[in-house]
Amino acid sequence: MSHTILFVQPGACPETRTYCDYESINECIESVCRSYEEYLKRRKPKKSTITYEISQLFDFIDRLKDICCLVYQKTTKTYAPFNKEWIKSKLYELLRGSAHSA
């Protein structure tokens, strides 16, 4: 488990910046999925189930002004930065694993 801090800036205004911290990379990546699902629910509140393609999730991430992670590195006792593309690759791994176990 690596402590992970997620930084998100959805809009152009710096006031839209937020951050959350997680006990693991996986928790962080799952929260990105949940954020997208909550966004979809707000857009279509009458739908009882939410379904989406990974490409739609990636488009959502690409529309964010900024999203990145800092992940704690035990060996150096520092945080390493990871960008939007890294987050998308972790999302792909998570969702691919979920599809195989379903």
Tell me 73's DSSP state.
E
In the prediction, which pLDDT does 81 show? 98
| pLDDT tens profile 4-54 | 999 999 999 999 999 999 999 999 999 999 999 999 999 999 988 989 999
| pLDDT tens profile 50-98 | 899 999 999 999 999 999 999 999 999 999 999 999 999 999 999 988 7
| E strand or H helix that includes residue 69 | strand 66-73
Superfamily of domain 4-100: Enhancer of rudimentary (3.30.2260.10)
Q: What are the residue boundaries of the structural domains of the chain, listed by start?
A: 4-100
